[in-house]
Amino acid sequence: MADGSQPDYDSKSEDGDNKVKVICLGDSAVGKSKLVERFLMDGYQPQQLSTFALTLFRYKTKVSNENIAVDFWDTAGQERFSSMHPSYYHQAHACILVFDTTRKITYKNLPNWFKELRQYRPEIPCLCAGNKIDVDYSITKKAFGFPKKHNMPFYFVSASDGTNVVKCFRDAIKAAVAYKNNSTDFMDEIMRELENFDLETEGEDKSDEKSDSGLDSAGDSQGKDDQATGTSTS
Ligand SMILES: Nc1nc2c(ncn2[C@@H]2O[C@H](COP(=O)(O)OP(=O)(O)O)[C@@H](O)[C@H]2O)c(=O)[nH]1
Ligand SMILES: [Mg+2]
């Protein structure tokens, strides 16, 4: 580490904890860094990986009684170039795909990020977060087709006021640990939990007939490759 090289996530941490790596992906300025900061608040020790201009934040926790050291990786803005250095994906155990609910383009770009993720990490659990809902809470009445289509847990979040941030990151950690420990049904479990989970806002009418948000159309209609990941029955 001191030389700026990457930690090895196959081995245990210095104090014997199981180690997982969680990455955030999405366009520039969607709030990836702020979300990590919000989740960690004061309990983090950022470490600089000079070689790759990346920062990682180590967070110690427990999942089902196992001590876990989680490294959240953050970029130094490389996402501006619409793709990440392969080292960012290397050995990652879970990914949070983030978009900005106030900027459609960041939602439309999700399939591109997802595609790149799958090139490097075909199997890892992926969660989706629509950030900045504090700007306009009515956005949470809209439906977003992309996460549903890929069977990803979806969270409306706000790094500014903290809505759902802990929930989303805890689920990402659980998914990462389950993936590393070769457990199979963790996503089902998270999805089931989410079905009984409501955003704590002044939700008056919860009709089932949410129409898909107009945000969705462009990105999805041309996403032919989306189907590849959809079903695999054999
Ligand atoms: N209103 C609002 N602004 C946010 C929120 N999260 C991030 N921002 C702002 O969005 C900008 C980009 O955030 P940053 O975390 O640097 O984005 P990143 O490039 O994805 O890491 C900053 O000016 C943040 O203050 C949020 O939940 N609500
Ligand atoms: Mg950032």
DSSP 91-122: T--EEEEEEETT-HHHHHTHHHHHHHHHHH-S
Ligand 1 close to Cβ of residue 174 (< 6 A): no
Distance 132 CA to ligand 1 centre (A): 7
Q: What is the pLDDT of residues 100-139, one digit of tens each?
A: 999 999 999 999 999 999 999 999 999 999 999 999 999 9
Q: What is the pLDDT of residues 3-21, one digit of tens each?
A: 456 788 877 777 778 999 9
Q: Does the pLDDT at position 157 exceed 80?
A: yes
Superfamily of domain 18-229: P-loop containing nucleotide triphosphate hydrolases (3.40.50.300)
Domain ranges for the chain = 18-229
Is the model more confident about 200 or about 113?
Answer: 113
Distance 163 CA to ligand 2 centre (A): 19
Element spanning 36, H or E: helix 32-40
Site of tokens 């963790």: 186
Q: Whose CA is nearest to atom 14 of ligand 1?
A: 31
| Ligand 1 atom, smallest distance to 157 CA | 27
pLDDT value at position 51? 53
pTM to 2 decimals?
0.80
Contact between 6 and 73 (Cβ < 8 Å): no
The secondary structure of residue 81, as a DSSP letter, is G
Q: Which residues pair with 63 in a beta bridge?
A: 66
Q: Does the pLDDT at position 225 exceed 90?
A: no
Q: Whose CA is nearest to atom 13 of ligand 1?
A: 31
- Token digits for 179? 């993936």
Q: How many Å apart are CA 15 and CA 1, to the nearest integer?
A: 15
Least confident interval from 29-43, 169-183, 210-224: 210-224
pLDDT band, residue 205 (cuts 50/70/90): very low
pLDDT value at position 217? 41
pLDDT band, residue 215 (cuts 50/70/90): low
Q: Which of 145, 160, 79 is nearest to 112 (CA)?
A: 79
Distance 37 CA to ligand 2 centre (A): 10
